[in-house]
Amino acid sequence: MARSLPAPRWAMLLSLVVLLGCIVVPGFAVKHKDFKTCEQSGFCKRNRAYADNASSQGASWSSPYELDPATVHFKDGVLTGVISKTTTANEKVRLPLTVSFLESGAARIVVDEEKRMKGDIEMRHGSQANKKRYDETEKWTIVGGLEVSKSATLNAQSETGFTNILYGPDYKFQAIVRHSPFGVEFQRDGQTHVQLNHRGFLNMEHWRPKVDGKDGESSEDESTWWEETFGGNTDSKPRGPESIALDITFPGYSHVFGIPEHADSLSLKETRGGPGNHENPYRLYNSDVFEYELESPMTLYGAIPLMQAHRKNSTVGVFWLNAAETWIDIVKSTASSNPLALGAGSKTDTATHWMSESGQIDLFVFLGPSPNDISKTYGELTGYTQLPQQFAIGYHQCRWNYVTDEDVKEVNAKFDKYQIPYDVIWLDLEYTDDRKYFTWDPLTFPDPKGMQQKLDETERKLVVLIDPHIKNADKYFVSEELRSKNLAVLNKDGEIYDGWCWPGSSNWVDCFNPAAHAWWATLHKFDKFKGSLQNLFIWNDMNEPSVFNGPDMTMPKDNLHYGNWEHRDVHNVNGLTLLNATYKAMLERKKGEVRRPFILTRSYYAGAQRVSAMWTGDNQATWDHLGASIPMVLTNGIAGFPFAGADVGGFFHNPDKDLLTRWYQAGIWYPFFRAHAHIDTRRREPYLISEPHRSYIAQAIRLRYQLMPAWYTAFHEASVNGTPIVRPQYYMFPEDEQGFAIDDQLYLASTGLLVKPVVQKNTHSAEVYISDDEKYYDYFDFTVYQGAGKKHTVPAPEDKVPVLIQGGHIIPRKDRPRRSTGLMRWDPYTLVITLDKDSEAQGSLYVDDGETFDYERGAYIHRHFNYRESVLSSEDIGTKGPKTAEYLKTMAGVTVERVVIVDPPVEWKAKDTVVVIEDGAKLASTASLEFYEQESGKASYAVVKKPNVGIGKNWRIEF
């Protein structure tokens, strides 16, 4: 301490507070030194320096990349050409360019390096690694949407030095390709929305041989070109420097979203320092980050390089298809012609800088114009979220660990005893025999089948952990087969890679190898995974992959995968390859018994939504982590992977009753709703919590189950058009600038439900932002909130999570509490209707068997509910298939038992019946209607008793 001032009293108090704080919360924190900063990551450092150099030169900087006009060729929606890079040594490097204009309205820009493509390079250290830039990320990620637009056309009015392509719906889109320096501007309706290489940061590190003792000749800093050491591990970098980078600017856009996974706000922050900004770029390098910190650009377990930029009434996006380590810098600049007119007249540009360690430049550009459009187009490429089995949307009870099969059965019984519904119980690591997957500990789980049968009695499921690290042990059939069949990941010398994970010395299955998929499928078969039954599903954890003794807690980058691709090339997609293998394995467990697989993953990449659900990894039992879970789940949703959730209760440490209760009240709004806890925490199954909190938690869980029809419908919607299941404010109201940064409240799909979970201690009300001038009704007591563009105070006593229903919706519910979702199948529906300003309301419902793929052959019910001019009707919006009739027959007994109309016309006071007309019925019937007034401030409501209309039928109720 340099200052010699006497320590004032407050300083002592402060240190006391700090000390006490340390006692309350054990001093765990993320181990920063285990994970790289940009400065410690050679290519990030180099590209930032490159950008700084370009910026500092200002207008005099010229990007050394030129598109040779002679090579430019446009045919059938595809533009090709060769970009020529002039090196510092004044050599020319040929970089083939392909720009495809897709039927969906997306454009794809691919840049590669000719020399590497041809394999015309020398590898250092005699490495066997593939010489090419990795071009197979697409293989794991893209499943469609690549149809090239035949109608895209050259714009005859291109200026000299430019090639302009008109494309998209009604030729509203235009790509302006500038030849020198190379750059592309994307316009919609004549306005520029996305600019590539606008700032001249485009950089593709060409191949060059290592020249020793050539000091002084080059001005470039070669210190990170040939070798990098981190965490005691030296990366041999056999191909030398090979990074790619590109600046992408969104002019006039002040918000960018997406690029999960980070524990940060929904609206991404600037990353080049300054107050409230990050110092490091957002990093995407799937890692097992222990005790991760919040409000950080630090990488986490998964990566989806999809970014949305949003401004009033316009959303555009980019998808950076690269599986190598990636860093993204974000800066925003506000320009204003009149410096005094900051605010209203000012225009903010958001400029981003994408840097990847290796691979091609492969970029998709989406021009919107709505967030929905981005979700849909991106989903066409990478696939929509899978329609899960119904149980997967129920409540999942997990803990590290339920210790015996008897323990599992007892937890199961306790839920019934306390009448709290749940669908799935989970087994973490310790069920295995000595951490060998596909085995059971013979002492603690002597009767796995009996346990699963018990669960099956109430249609409940078991999920067990299966990780990609295979214990390196003799007499362990999985390990023996992995090695003898040569299906493991290799080290740089081509030997089976050996690292440390849960079982100690382990090998990793290499799911880039098709043969590994076939083998992985055999392991999951009922006769091989002995003791597993049909109601067992899989949790793939540690698939970043997590390696306890590896750099960045993962594999060395020079490890080799199938096809001799270096781990550096494929790292971020590694987790997904395992999921693909498991998904296929789950389909093939037994012939003729195909059920939709359920897999939970920690690591993911674009495309993982097709096969899995994700959770936000090892969070902590703190209010901050509860709060952070909302933007994290929302971000995943807009990045096309909506089946997401955080560990309810917090993984590490013990939540107190208040926190746990609030976490359940928030967690029921995660699409993936699972409670989980670390092995060192106290047991916290909901029934163990003392009253009144037990009831509060039970109410929250039952609320989730009550809304199950709405949830399932939301999942269905996501599975056919990619829309998020829970949606952020800007997504719902793209025109309301005040709402763009709001990330602490959410909407459940298009149900009209607006939720603001309480995430602060001792807080008993919530400020809910309402964007429009519709009436919003409190879900529980129909209190009316109205007033656009401002926050409304909604009471939130401890037993209540603030939920509002926007006017204009019809929400399907099932109000009878059951033990599991499966047992709700035959229950009747309640429809809750809130009328909008025009006295209208809409809603939809999707129902199927919740298990099989029969829905693909028409075995489902899809209804659109419409309330208009005092008539409520249900119409079929499904498409008939061979199994439709049969399914409808099984559902014939399922009806609507109740219709609740919130805020009905006052004239209904005089009404006591409504007319019910069902298709196929000979005569119209009536049902009774009761009108209930409430005190002022709360809406009156009317209840139709037992209209008894079939859920699968066309019908009308006339009021």
Partner 1 sequence: MRLPQSLLLLAAAGSAAQASSDKPVRPRGLDPEFAKFYQDSTTFTCISNPSVKIPFSAVNDDYCDCPDGSDEPGTSACAHISRNSPLTVADRPGNSDLDTALALPGFYCKNKGHRPSYVPFQRVNDGICDYEECCDGSDEWARVGGIKCEDRCKEIGKQWRKQEEQNQKSMTAALRKKKDLLIDAGRQQQEIEDHIAALEAEVHGAELKEQNLEADLKLAQEQDRKVVRTGKGKGKGKVSALANLAKGRVDELRNALVDVRRQRDEARERVKELEDILAKVKVEYNPNFNDEGVKRAVRSYEDYAAREQGTEDANGAVDRDLDEIAKADSEENGINWEHWENEEDGCNDLDLVYKFAAYLPPSLVSFIEDRVISVKSYLEEKGILPKADEDSSSESKAVTQARDALKTAQDSVTSLKNKLRDQRADLEQDYGPGSIFRALKGVCITQDAGEYTYEHCFLESTKQNQRKGSNSVSMGKFSNVGTTTVEEVNTAGEVVNVEKMTIEYNRGQSCWNGPNRSTKVILECGEENKILKTAEEEKCVYSMLVTSPAACAGGEAGNDAPRSKDEL
Catalytic residue annotation: 541, 544, 618
Q: Which residue has the tokens 């009767």?
A: 447
Pick the piece of the chain touching partner 1 (CB under 8 A) from 144-152, 590-598, 750-758, 931-939. Answer: 931-939
| Window 370-409: residues binding partner 1 (CB under 8 A) | 400, 403-404, 406-407
Which is closer to partner 1, CB of 474 or CB of 680? Answer: 680
| Window 533-562: residues binding partner 1 (CB under 8 A) | 548
Which is closer to partner 1, CB of 483 or CB of 898? Answer: 898
Spatial distance between the Cα atoms of 944 and 463, rounded to a whole number of angstroms:
41
Is residue 700 within 8 A of residue 670, CB to CB? The reply is no
From the CB of 818, what's the least distance to partner 1, in Å? 5
Spatial distance between the Cα atoms of 471 and 434, rounded to a whole number of angstroms:
9
Radius of gyration, alpha carbons of the chain: 29
Give the Cα-Cα-Cα angle 527, 412, 614 (nearest 5 degrees).
70
Per-residue binder mask for partner 1 (CB under 8 A), 458-477, x = binder: x-------------------
Pick the piece of the chain touching partner 1 (CB under 8 A) from 217-225, 833-841, 910-918, 935-943. Answer: 935-943
Distances from the Cα of 583 to the Cα of 15, 395, 594, 821, 878, angstroms: 53, 22, 12, 23, 27
- The residue within the footprint of partner 1, chosen from 212, 527, 680, 869 (CB under 8 A), is 680
Spatial distance between the Cα atoms of 111 and 82, rounded to a whole number of angstroms:
9
Which is closer to partner 1, CB of 543 or CB of 681? Answer: 681
Distances from the Cα of 305 to the Cα of 310, 508, 900, angstroms: 16, 25, 44
Helix (H, G, I), strand (E, B) or coil at 833: strand
From the CB of 804, what's the least distance to partner 1, in Å? 13
Which is closer to partner 1, CB of 136 or CB of 407? Answer: 407
Which is closer to partner 1, CB of 417 or CB of 837? Answer: 417
Is residue 489 within 8 A of residue 480, CB to CB? The reply is no
Report if residue 679 touches partner 1, rule: CB under 8 A: yes
Is residue 802 within 8 A of residue 780, CB to CB? The reply is no
Neighbours of 856 (CB within 10 A): 12
Report if residue 934 touches partner 1, rule: CB under 8 A: yes
| Window 606-645: residues binding partner 1 (CB under 8 A) | 618
Report if residue 657 touches partner 1, rule: CB under 8 A: no
Pick the piece of the chain touching partner 1 (CB under 8 A) from 6-14, 117-125, 877-885, 893-901. Answer: 893-901
Report if residue 823 touches partner 1, rule: CB under 8 A: yes
Which is closer to partner 1, CB of 293 or CB of 737? Answer: 293
Is residue 328 within 8 A of residue 318, CB to CB? The reply is no
Is residue 173 within 8 A of residue 188, CB to CB? The reply is yes
Entry field: residues in the chain = 959
- Find, among 896, 835, 836, the residue nearest to 863 by Cα: 896
- The residue within the footprint of partner 1, chosen from 819, 863, 883, 956 (CB under 8 A), is 819
Helix (H, G, I), strand (E, B) or coil at 500: strand
Write down the number of H helices and E strands in the chain.
Answer: 16, 53
Report if residue 214 touches partner 1, rule: CB under 8 A: no
- DSSP 8-state assignment for residue 909: G
Which is closer to partner 1, CB of 84 or CB of 934? Answer: 934
Report if residue 423 touches partner 1, rule: CB under 8 A: no
- The residue within the footprint of partner 1, chosen from 417, 761, 790, 880 (CB under 8 A), is 417
Which is closer to partner 1, CB of 136 or CB of 798? Answer: 798
- The residue within the footprint of partner 1, chosen from 781, 856, 875, 912 (CB under 8 A), is 781
Can you name the residues that pair with 464 across neighbouring β-strands? 427, 538
Pick the piece of the chain touching partner 1 (CB under 8 A) from 208-216, 278-286, 818-826, 879-887. Answer: 818-826
Which is closer to partner 1, CB of 84 or CB of 505? Answer: 505
| Window 73-112: residues binding partner 1 (CB under 8 A) | none
The footprint of partner 1 on this chain (CB under 8 A) covers a number of residues equal to 63
Report if residue 758 touches partner 1, rule: CB under 8 A: no
Spatial distance between the Cα atoms of 701 and 695, rounded to a whole number of angstroms:
10
Is residue 844 within 8 A of residue 713, CB to CB? The reply is yes
- The residue within the footprint of partner 1, chosen from 52, 169, 826, 906 (CB under 8 A), is 826
From the CB of 591, what's the least distance to partner 1, in Å? 25
Spatial distance between the Cα atoms of 474 and 485, rounded to a whole number of angstroms:
15
Q: Is residue 367 exposed (0-12), middle (13-18) or buried (19+ Cβ within 10 Å)? A: buried
Which is closer to partner 1, CB of 458 or CB of 505? Answer: 458
Is residue 133 within 8 A of residue 112, CB to CB? The reply is yes
Spatial distance between the Cα atoms of 916 and 957, rounded to a whole number of angstroms:
5
Per-residue binder mask for partner 1 (CB under 8 A), 272-311, x = binder: ------------------x---------------------
From the CB of 816, what's the least distance to partner 1, in Å? 5
- Within 102-167, strands assigned E span 107-111, 153-154, 162-167
Report if residue 171 touches partner 1, rule: CB under 8 A: no
- The residue within the footprint of partner 1, chosen from 180, 444, 870, 925 (CB under 8 A), is 444
Which is closer to partner 1, CB of 158 or CB of 695? Answer: 695
Per-residue binder mask for partner 1 (CB under 8 A), 3-32, x = binder: -------------------------x----
From the CB of 33, what's the least distance to partner 1, in Å? 10
Pick the piece of the chain touching partner 1 (CB under 8 A) from 316-324, 527-535, 605-613, 775-783. Answer: 775-783
Report if residue 699 touches partner 1, rule: CB under 8 A: yes
- Find, among 848, 885, 881, 883, the residue nearest to 863 by Cα: 848
Spatial distance between the Cα atoms of 656 and 626, rounded to a whole number of angstroms:
13
Report if residue 703 touches partner 1, rule: CB under 8 A: yes
Report if residue 930 touches partner 1, rule: CB under 8 A: yes
What backbone torsions phi and psi does residue 136 show, to the nearest 5 degrees?
Answer: -115, 10
Spatial distance between the Cα atoms of 378 and 639, rounded to a whole number of angstroms:
9
Spatial distance between the Cα atoms of 667 and 397, rounded to a whole number of angstroms:
12
Token pair belonging to 265: 């706000």
- The residue within the footprint of partner 1, chosen from 68, 815, 836, 851 (CB under 8 A), is 815
Spatial distance between the Cα atoms of 943 and 924, rounded to a whole number of angstroms:
19
Q: In this structure, is the dihedral angle defined by the CA atoms of residues 200, 202, 208 and 213, taken in order, positive or negative?
A: positive
Q: Which residue has the tokens 């970029």?
A: 363
From the CB of 444, what's the least distance to partner 1, in Å? 4
Report if residue 456 touches partner 1, rule: CB under 8 A: no
Report if residue 898 touches partner 1, rule: CB under 8 A: yes
Report if residue 693 touches partner 1, rule: CB under 8 A: no
What backbone torsions phi and psi does residue 804 show, to the nearest 5 degrees?
Answer: -120, 155
How many angstroms from the chain centroid is the CA of residue 11? 44
- The residue within the footprint of partner 1, chosen from 658, 842, 946, 954 (CB under 8 A), is 946
- The residue within the footprint of partner 1, chosen from 683, 761, 790, 868 (CB under 8 A), is 683
Report if residue 842 touches partner 1, rule: CB under 8 A: no
Cα-based torsion angle of the residue sequence 917, 923, 926, 927 in order, rounded to the nearest 10 degrees: -60
- The residue within the footprint of partner 1, chosen from 301, 605, 669, 782 (CB under 8 A), is 782
Report if residue 35 touches partner 1, rule: CB under 8 A: no
Helix (H, G, I), strand (E, B) or coil at 841: strand
Token pair belonging to 636: 């995943």
| Window 480-509: residues binding partner 1 (CB under 8 A) | 502
Neighbours of 535 (CB within 10 A): 17
Which residues of the shown chain bind partner 1 in the complex (CB under 8 A)?
A: 28, 290, 400, 403-404, 406-407, 410, 417-420, 429, 441, 443-444, 457-458, 502, 548, 618, 679-683, 695, 698-700, 702-703, 706, 779-782, 815-819, 822-828, 832, 890, 893, 897-898, 900, 930, 932, 934, 938, 941, 943, 945-946
